[in-house]
A and B are shown apart, each in its own frame.
Chain A
Amino acid sequence: MQFGIFTVGDVTTDPTTGRTPTEHERIKATVEIAKKAEDIGLDVFATGEHHNPPFIASNPTATLAYVGAKTERIILSTATTLITTTDPVLIAEDYAKLQHLTDGRVDLMMGRGNTGPVYPWFGKDIRQGINLAIENYALLRRLWSEDVVDWSGRFRTPLQGYTSTPRPLDGVAPFVWHGSIRSPEIAEQAAYYGDGFFHNHIFWPASHTESMVRLYRQRFEHYGHGTADQAVVGLGGQFFMRKSSQDAVNEFRPYFDNAPVYGHGPSLEDFTEATPLTVGSPQQVLERTLSFRDYVGDYQRQLFLVDHAGLPLKTVLEQLDLLGEILPTMREEFAKMRKPGVPDAPTHASLVAKAGGATDSTVYAAADSATGSSDRDLDDPEVAKVLEGEL
């Protein structure tokens, strides 16, 4: 089982000091947090993607490539990649490039994004969110699996004889998860392809997470990828811990009360009861996390949100130290409970092995005579007219 953290990259005022970090501080803090995640023995660092303030999570592959260069082992992932508003052609290129740079330490999680104003900035319509996710992902898969793609569809211009470069490392595309809080269609999509399904889990009651995961597992089996128990499930989680649980509650309460998503709403006590948020001692966080399995079954990936709501970097790093202390026990206990036959989450190495070994997937092409030459072809009479000021 993999453990990790995911960040949304919010730039939020610390409600206890009134101080708001600069974008630069927040971007550098994100890198520190990712390095720390590797240091304490976590397996995954995932970043979100946002294209509006107060976030610094645009251009996720730059962040992941930089973190990749500063780390050795940790898997670089997303939570989530906006499959709706990002051209699948760019996703295919960016993440294949990231695979090569990090020697395969990459997977990604598709999500739709729920920020209405963002869609039109990218020429899209939020009312088409599900349709965009479905058509764009179908194209993305082809771009990775086929060297030359002819394609036409509804949401982007057609492709004729298109080759996405670089080709996926070792001929194997990155593993893909699909994240959705409340859309059964996305669980269905993940099941259809035999991809992973991730439930954010932190904003909604466990009963809802249970329904989404159950649907995914049933449909995974229906589509013949294996038994329901073998489906690849990931969950989010959220905690704040101190050695004494009362200290944890006292320290976290102002962050909770002012948090961008659920602040000024339910009390900390009500929210911790209704959702998987755990505020307390390391032992309480350990026990609560182990209990997630009771309603989703054996699962493959657990990601925690630790760096939001204005928590200062120092506090976040302390949270990771505490997580590091309970991590070995968490691994052991999950492993003990795990039913035989439940697979691990796919990694680049396991996917290469499954494909029968690595293949060089480079598509060689003859030299390109256009790139680097002037677009002002002086032999072209139209261009000549423009240059002479006649048009």
Chain B
Amino acid sequence: MTRRIVVVSAGLSVPSSTRLLADMLGEAAVGAIRERGQEADVEVVELRPLAHALADHLLTGFPSGELGAAIEKVRRADGLVVVTPVFSASYSGLFKTFFDVLELGVLDGKPVVVAATAGTVRHSLVLDHALRPLFSYLHAVVVPTGVFAASEDFGAVATDAGTTGLAKRVERAANELAALVAGTTAAPTPVAHRRTVDEEFADPTPFEALLRAASDGPPAF
């Protein structure tokens, strides 16, 4: 079975260092899964062309065209790599909006690598004070290694690819993701998997169960 890695990149420029990091992580993840004897492919979701659709979704409550397809890719992914530029000491608004409009439950138990880029290394803790809490809230399983790259890291990649800190961090994060996605390490099962609307359509909760659930719990009056 081919494992699907989806890379979500919130870079705004072309070319973008965010996309560059996203591609490095995506390729490394596929490589690490193949080393474990399984097939894998990677798809990229670029958020920049979805910016209008994301604003529309906030207002209308439904995804139009391409955004619907992007959300579907994330829903079906076996593992995610998410990369944002740092704006004003946190993830960008565009990045956050994409995860704001995802239905609760879509990321339950999904292995995720968090990554960010910035002009200065002084932003590096953004992974731990912004991205990690966001994905914990969404019930994703965030791998221990997050990857942060500042401008100086990319400079180092260009001169000495194999041995820099960035390449090592990419490798380590990719291996941690592969271990979860390829099933060599058991991902913790989420405590309560939240059913999505699509799951209800496919396998509706019988009304008797809804009726029992309605009156469970302490009196509310």
Contacts and interface: CB of A to CB of B under 8 A. Distances in A.
Contact of B221 (A123, A204, A261): A123
B56 A128 contact: no
Interface in A232-269: 261-266
A140 to B, nearest CB: 13
Given A134-B214, A155-B221, A262 B59 contact: yes
Nearest to A208: B62
Interface stretch (A3-11, A99-107, A182-190, A324-332): A182-190
B219 interface: yes
Contacts of B65: 274
Given A219-B204, A262-B59, A265-B56, A128 B64 contact: no
A203 B60 contact: yes
Nearest to A182: B197
B214 A135 contact: yes
A265 B55 contact: yes
A211 B62 CA distance: 14
Say whether chain B's binding surface is mostly helix, strand, loop, or mixed.
Answer: helix
B60 A215 contact: no
A131 B213 contact: yes
A134 B200 contact: no
A interface, how many residues as a size bin? 35 or more
B200 A185 contact: yes
A154 B61 CA distance: 31
Contacts of B59: 262-266
A261 B55 CA distance: 14
Contacts of A205: 62
A153 interface: yes
A184 B200 contact: yes
A192 B220 contact: no
B167 to A, nearest CB: 43
A219 B201 CA distance: 10
Contact of A153 (B61, B197, B205, B215): B215
Contacts of B200: 184-185, 215
Interface in B48-72: 55-56, 58-62, 64-65
B205 A188 contact: yes
B56 A130 contact: no
Given A154-B219, A188-B205, A134 B62 contact: no
Interface in A185-214: 185, 187-189, 191-192, 203-205, 208, 211, 214
Interface in A124-161: 124-125, 128, 130-132, 134-135, 138, 153-157
B56 A270 contact: yes
Contacts of B61: 182, 203-204
Interface of A: 123-125, 128, 130-132, 134-135, 138, 153-157, 182-185, 187-189, 191-192, 203-205, 208, 211, 214-215, 219, 223, 261-266, 270-271, 274
Return the 9 tightest CB-CB contacts between A and B, nearest first: A265-B59, A184-B200, A192-B207, A134-B214, A131-B214, A266-B56, A135-B214, A265-B56, A154-B215
24 contacts: A124-B220, A128-B220, A130-B214, A135-B215, A154-B215, A156-B221, A182-B197, A183-B197, A184-B204, A187-B204, A188-B204, A188-B206, A189-B207, A203-B61, A204-B62, A211-B201, A223-B207, A262-B59, A262-B60, A264-B59, A265-B60, A266-B60, A270-B64, A274-B62
Given A154-B215, A187-B204, A188-B210, 8 more contacts: A123-B221, A124-B220, A134-B213, A155-B221, A192-B207, A203-B62, A265-B60, A270-B56
